[in-house]
Amino acid sequence: MSVLVEFAMFPTDKGESVSAYVSRILKMLHTENVPHQLTAMGTIFETETLAEALDILKKAYETLSLDCSRIYATAKFDIRKNTTKRMEGKIKSVERHLTSLSPSSPQRPHPPNK
């Protein structure tokens, strides 16, 4: 099984910039050997079970709850049986489709007008 999770978690009582708090969660992911990808809007990770994914989210919360009184969190799950390593595979699949499009194809995204 593959459980892909995209989540964001940060304190709302620590001012405008919360990157120091987000980096504490990323350090925990690294310490726990959880493959993850940081994006501008959150973090993506993959586990083999839903229980593992929920445990990681709990650990992320506990990382912040030590000194944060209010924590905002969102999480999205993509759970699929009989597969693994989808975090990399999904990106590669889309990239294969992009490279197979010809430059004149109407399906290819156009660069923005300048």
* Sheet containing 2-11: order of strands: 36-38, 43-47, 2-11, 71-80
Instruction: Give 112's DSSP letter.
Output: P
Residue type, 102: S
What residue segments make up the domains of the chain, in order of their start? 2-99
Q: What is the pLDDT of residues 10-24, one digit of tens each?
A: 999 999 999 999 999
Q: What is the pLDDT of residues 40-97, one digit of tens each?
A: 999 999 999 999 999 999 999 999 999 999 999 999 999 999 988 888 778 888 888 8
Domain spanning 2-99, CATH class: alpha beta
Work out the angle between the directed axes of helices 19-31 and 50-65 (0-180°, nearest 10): 140
Kind of pairing between the strands at 71-80 and 43-47 = unpaired
pLDDT at 99 over 60: yes
